[in-house]
Amino acid sequence: MSNKIGDLSRRRVLMGGATIGAGTLLAACTSNSDTKSKDSGQTKVVAGDNAAPGKTVTIGFSAPAADHGWIRAITDNAKKQAALYSDVKFTQVDAGKDAPAQVAALQTLIQQKPDAIVLLPQDGAQLTAAGRAAMQAGIPVINLDREFTDAGASRLLIKGDNYGMGVAAGLYIGNKLKGKTDAVIAEIAGIDSLPLTQERSRGFKEALATFGLRVTNRVAAQFTVQSGQDVTANLLQAASKIDAIWNHDDDQGVGVLAAISQAGRKEFFMVGGAGSLDVMQHIKAADTPLECTVTYPPSMASSAISLARLIAQGKGISDLVELQVPKQIVLASETITKANVDKYLPLGFKS
């Protein structure tokens, strides 16, 4: 079993090494260094001045309604990042209440011919054709979080590490329950039809398996407070004893915690998902079963705006050798506990 754990841990290190974090990206994209570059084939000593004003570009933006803390943070971050650049005009279109409404809004946006579009789809599969239409019209699309079914429907995909979230949660729980092969482990997922939820569950299952553990009770909520509360109430009634819970989403976690409080259950510990400010405060105060959360940073929207600007201006990331912005960027999932929560508090978003 120890070899499997080592293999999985090495896999996470390799995955992390292949990703670029939002903070690193922004530092590279906005470098003000005046260092002269020295080109030699595929090597370069670096950096340019990508933050300096360039050609004015219009960036279109669309994301679902901000009735969810994480999505609200996505929209807020995008607006604030765009405002940092004097050469960016930010145009937001209403995504409506479902995928067809967002498709209609994007068709109108495409007709306005922005220089780039940053898009968080209601549903990646249903918005694929809209992304493809924009690309065919010569408008680069930056696909946020929910993947299109056709890689050609976007110029860049930037997302969190959903599989890595599951692995991080599974490793935390597995290490806490090591040797307790009869442990009762519950999983509160998000929307099961979304590939991101499926990836989170797969990572969680595979990480637990390295400890000889498995998920014994699983329910799916809908990324809302009310659904989180409802499914957790049912879960607690179905399982008289639980050792650990992983909740995929800190926003629905508000409802999860409400149900736990109402039931008066205290025998288990809980891991969250995303990195909300509320959850971090609970971890710091140790006033709920929450001991940990694994991140899924909405700062990806800030990076998406910076990268959309570079793509629209025909620039690359100055710290990279390649002349163009990469095709895909995956942000690493980090584990927040009481030991390191103070460092992450400034990055938390309000549920």
Report pLDDT digits (tens) over 3-34.
444 445 433 433 333 334 444 344 334 333 33
Per-residue pLDDT for 351 more than 90? no
Question: In the predicted model, is pLDDT for residue 110 greater than 70?
Answer: yes
Residue 8 lies in a domain: no
Q: Are residues 221 and 343 in the same domain?
A: yes
> How many domains does the chain fold into?
2
291 is written with which tokens? 């001991």
Is 3 part of a structural domain of the chain? Answer: no
If pLDDT is split at 50, 70 and 90, which confidence band does 122 have?
very high
pLDDT value at position 213?
98
pLDDT exceeds cutoff 80 at 100:
yes
Give me the pLDDT at residue 250, please.
96
- Let me know whether 319 and 238 are in one domain: no
pLDDT in tens, 140-164: 999 999 999 999 999 999 999 999 9
Residues 55 and 137 in one domain: yes
Lowest mean pLDDT of 42-56, 88-102, 258-272, 332-346, name the range. Answer: 42-56
Residue 185 lies in a domain: yes
The per-residue pLDDT of the chain, averaged, comes to 88
Residue 312 within a domain? yes
Contact status, residue 77 vs residue 347, Cβ threshold 8 Å: no
Cα–Cα distance, 180 to 133 (Å, whole number): 53
Residues 171, 289, single domain; the answer is: yes
In a domain, 14, yes or no: no
Domain presence at residue 317: yes
Q: Virtual CA dihedral for 25, 28, 31, 33, nearest 10 degrees?
A: 160
Is the pLDDT at 97 greater than 60, yes or no? yes
Question: CA-CA distance, 209 to 110, in Å (whole number)?
Answer: 47
CATH code (residue 119):
3.40.50.2300
Clarify whether residues 214 and 343 are in a common domain. Answer: yes
Reported as a single tens digit per residue, the pLDDT across 42-69 is: 544 444 678 889 999 999 999 998 778 8
pLDDT at 33: 37
SS3 assignment, position 44: strand
| 35 has pLDDT over 90 | no
Domain range enclosing 196? 162-295+336-347
Same domain as 224, residue 93 = no
More confident residue, 267 or 23: 267
Residue 227 sits in the same domain as residue 146? no
List the 88-92 sheet strands across, edge first: 88-92, 57-62, 116-119, 141-144, 156-160, 328-331
Residues 149 and 192 in one domain: no
Q: What is the DSSP string of 276-339?
A: BHHHHHHHHHT-SSEEEEEE--TTHHHHHHHHHHHHHTT---TTSSSSS--SEEEEPP-EEETT
Cβ atoms of residues 170 and 206 within 8 Å: yes
Q: What is the pLDDT of residue 90?
A: 98
Per-residue pLDDT at 42? 53
Dist CA 168 CA 296 (whole Å)? 11
| pLDDT-based confidence at residue 264 (cuts at 50, 70, 90) | very high
**DSSP letters along 4-26, please?**
HHHHHHHHHHHHHHT---HHHHH
Q: Are residues 84 and 137 in the same domain?
A: yes
Clarify whether residues 147 and 227 are in a common domain: no
* Side chain identity, residue 88: V
pLDDT beyond 80 at 183: yes
Mean pLDDT of the 303-321 span: 93
The confidence score (pLDDT) of residue 54 equals 93
Residue 12 belongs to a domain? no
Q: 272: burial class by Cβ within 10 Å (0-12, 13-18, 19+)?
A: buried
Whether residue 275 sits in one domain with residue 213: yes
Residue 131 within a domain: yes
91 and 186 assigned to the same domain = no
Write down the pLDDT at residue 216.
97
The predicted structure's pLDDT at residue 320: 86
